[in-house]
Amino acid sequence: MFLDVDAQLLIFSICFFVLGFLFQGIIRRYIKKPAQILKDDLNGEVEHLHGEAENSFQFFTELAEQFPFDMIIKGPDDELQFVSQGKTVAGLPERDLGIPLGGRFSEILRNALIDGSIVVPGADLENAVQQFRDVEKTDGAEIEFQDRYGSWYRRTTRFLSSDRLLLIRVDITKDRQARDQLQRQRQQLDNILNSARSAICGLDIDGNIVFANAQALKYLELAEGFPARWPEQITMLSLLDAEMLTARADPLHRARTGETIKGEKFILRRSTHTLTEYTRFTCAPIATPMPDGPVTILQLDDITVEENNRQQLERKGRLDALGQLTAGIAHDFNNVLGAIQYAMAIIVDETDTVERNQVQEIAASSVARGSKLTNRLLTFAKQQPGQSSIILLDNFIAEFEKLVAATIEENITVKFMLDDPNQQILCDPSQLENALLNLVLNSRDAIVRAKKGNKIILRVSQNSVMDSSIQQSTILNQNMDDQEKVKKTFVSFSLSDNGPGMSEEIRSRATDPFFTTEEANAGKGLGLSIVYGFVMQAEGELRISSEEGKGTTVLMTLPTNLIYEGLQAPSTPEFLVRGTGQTLLVVEDEDDLRMLTQRMLKSLGYQTLGASSGKQALELFQNDQQIDLVLTDIIMPGHLDGFQLSEKLKSIRPDIPIVYMSGYAQSGDEQPRTVQAPMLPKPIRPHDLAEALHRALKPINQ
């Protein structure tokens, strides 16, 4: 390794100090001699002085030859005064130049540039000469050049006393080769990173971006120049509900704390536009980070097209399942409508109070059943947002058994086993029903396709911990750690069949969104993918156990959540909460439903006004300031829907209570609204309506 410039100057200083000391001794001895002695010994002293000078110069030359670099000294008149022996002047050895010491260094330099002995890449003759001259004007200035053999050198200028210049030349060929190789490797790495379709960037210990490939610059809307802070216009939202994430769930915060994230999906929100984008987020810390370098590497993949396609196919998969249920659901609807029709006919002529009450209960039960069927349809069609409630599994399985009976062929036996009839669980009943139905249909399809098997068994049991007894199973991991598992109780839904079973390869890919073993146009391979998404959202676990020729078992384990929610199962109301003469404005575009709603409200002790549109309701409200509450539908004809109407009403009377009602789910919580109010799904049970009105009016009555 070459000596640095400071070390070189130190060595030269020592050399010149030695020469000066020798000359000083000679001069002192010469001055102290008496005149008569000087006269006598003058010739001898001169000879002695000459010898001392030669010895000192020889010592300096031998010392200079030991340095791993070349030295040139030139005087104030450009005279070449010293060159390391065996070294080079300009670019060639002195013996090859044909110019002895004492010549003008500028001529030697120009000749070397002319004949190609030395080359300054990218510069013509005059420009190269000027660069060398400029270097000689500044102490410590440097220039790099090549010789005719391709070796690289660095020349450094140092000022000495008496206007002399010391020119030090170091061979940097190996350094240049290493630097060029490093530059090529860096360029190759840059080419690889910039050709990647993923956005790749690095974060330092403070969370700043210290490098980003071309895709990251575009995807994150970054400007050149690092380090840079994470762009404020870009945030990550939850994939499930598009809501802001807590610090514990935010992938950027987790990446900054050194966590490893493997391909989690998020919604990427930009303040620059309103389009919904999806991204797959991956990050990992660097094992041995360099100082001032990245400590964590991020990889972001734009999966917007993929996710939109997945959602579209998932909706189609739900509609395909709905198509298989059409006959059974149509049969149920006909029964519901028939029961209501017969009940209305009987009530008209029935005079016995007991009989009338029984018929009314049957009609009300039929309406509730029809409402459940409607919710089921909307859920399958991906139009109904999930609404968790406490499910009594005894009743749930009984209803589900009826649904399956209308779907499965008669030659396949479906058996249901419930270990504890009183078992409860908190989740969205429609999503649970959808997940179980997909499992049943998957088993049915496998049995029918392979013409092997005839039995499907669904068993529901309670567990204190997640069941881990199934062998030869594919475990689909979830986010709870072992400590969290112990704290909760679980309900396991085990669905088994004696069908053809799966190979290990098929089992490992069973939940892939687009993977299917069915023939073309027979299915979209989304059944288990939908089940997997529901289980992950519920913080549960899904296991698939299967062996070729021996059937398949799918174990879906869900936490009850009842301990943490502090909820109780719904109870049947004993009485209706009545009003005290308050005036209600009912806004409903369906005339028959509006009329019956007003009549029911009158029976509950309210006075009512009716409006068939948002515009008419606004006019009535402006003319009648005695209205105590507005009960409004969401989707209505005209330019004012229920949400917009409530905004205008609140601008007139900020204290006016609002209660929404809607029979179409997308008009509910998924739509943005500025006026928050209770939402009642149609058809509304009288008790639910009475309770909602009582709660909305309670602050006014207090």
* Domain identity same for 292 and 247: yes
CB 231 within 8 A of CB 220: yes
CATH of the domain at 451: 3.30.565.10
* Domain identity same for 120 and 250: no
Q: What is the pLDDT of residue 658?
A: 93
List b or e across 570-593, with b for residues whose CB sees 16 or more CB atoms inside 10 angstroms: eeeeeebbebeebebbbbbbeeeb
| Residue where one domain finishes, among candidates 269, 302, 335 | 302
Confidence of residue 471 (pLDDT cuts 50, 70, 90): very low
Q: What tens digit of pLDDT does each residue of 114-171 get? A: 888 889 988 999 999 999 989 988 999 999 999 888 889 898 998 987 788 888 888 8
* Domain identity same for 487 and 401: yes
For 97, phi and psi rounded to 5 degrees? -80, -30
Mean pLDDT over 337-359 rounds to 71
* Domain identity same for 159 and 38: yes
Q: Is residue 186 part of a domain?
A: no
DSSP string for residues in 290-341:
PTTS-SEEEEEEE-HHHHHHHHHHHHHHHHHHHHHHHHHHHHHHHHHHHHHH
Q: What is the pLDDT of residue 380?
A: 53
Checking if the pLDDT of 251 tops 50, the result is: yes
| Residue where one domain finishes, among candidates 250, 276, 302 | 302
* Domain identity same for 110 and 69: yes
Checking if the pLDDT of 11 tops 70, the result is: no
Q: What tens digit of pLDDT does each residue of 520-551 get? A: 333 433 446 667 777 877 778 888 888 888 88
Mean pLDDT over 577-602 rounds to 88
Checking if the pLDDT of 279 tops 90, the result is: yes
Mean pLDDT over 673-696 rounds to 83
Q: Is residue 332 part of a domain?
A: no
CATH of the domain at 619: 3.40.50.2300
For 326, phi and psi rounded to 5 degrees? -55, -45
pTM above 0.85, yes or no: no
Question: What domain count does the chain have?
Answer: 4
Whole-number percent of the chain with pLDDT over 70: 69
Q: What is the pLDDT of residue 475?
A: 39
Give the contacts of 140 (CB within 8 A, at least 6 positions apart): 5, 156, 157, 158
Mean pLDDT over 628-641 rounds to 88
Confidence of residue 572 (pLDDT cuts 50, 70, 90): very low
* Domain identity same for 15 and 121: yes
Q: Is residue 628 part of a domain?
A: yes
Mean pLDDT (the chain) is 76
Q: What tens digit of pLDDT does each residue of 378-394 get? A: 655 544 445 667 788 88
* Domain identity same for 514 and 642: no
Confidence of residue 67 (pLDDT cuts 50, 70, 90): low
Q: What is the pLDDT of residue 52?
A: 56
Most confident of 26-30, 239-243, 446-450: 446-450
For residue 44, the enclosing domain spans: 5-172
Comparison of pLDDT for 375 and 659, the residue scoring more: 659
- Angle, helices 527-537 vs 429-450, to 10°: value is 150
CATH of the domain at 66: 3.30.450.20
Whole-number percent of the chain with pLDDT over 90: 18
CB 586 within 8 A of CB 631: yes
Mean pLDDT over 562-581 rounds to 59
Q: What angle do CA 424, 427, 429 make, to 5 degrees?
A: 90
Confidence of residue 20 (pLDDT cuts 50, 70, 90): low
Q: Is residue 322 part of a domain?
A: no
* Domain identity same for 389 and 296: no
* Domain identity same for 210 and 146: no
Confidence of residue 666 (pLDDT cuts 50, 70, 90): very low
3 state SS of 171: strand
Q: Is residue 316 part of a domain?
A: no
Comparison of pLDDT for 16 and 661, the residue scoring more: 661
* Domain identity same for 614 and 546: no
* Domain identity same for 81 and 147: yes
Q: Is residue 223 part of a domain?
A: yes
Mean pLDDT over 300-305 rounds to 91
* Domain identity same for 417 and 476: yes
Q: Is residue 461 part of a domain?
A: yes
Checking if the pLDDT of 563 tops 50, the result is: no
Q: What is the pLDDT of residue 428?
A: 78
| Residue where one domain finishes, among candidates 261, 277, 302 | 302
Q: Is residue 287 part of a domain?
A: yes
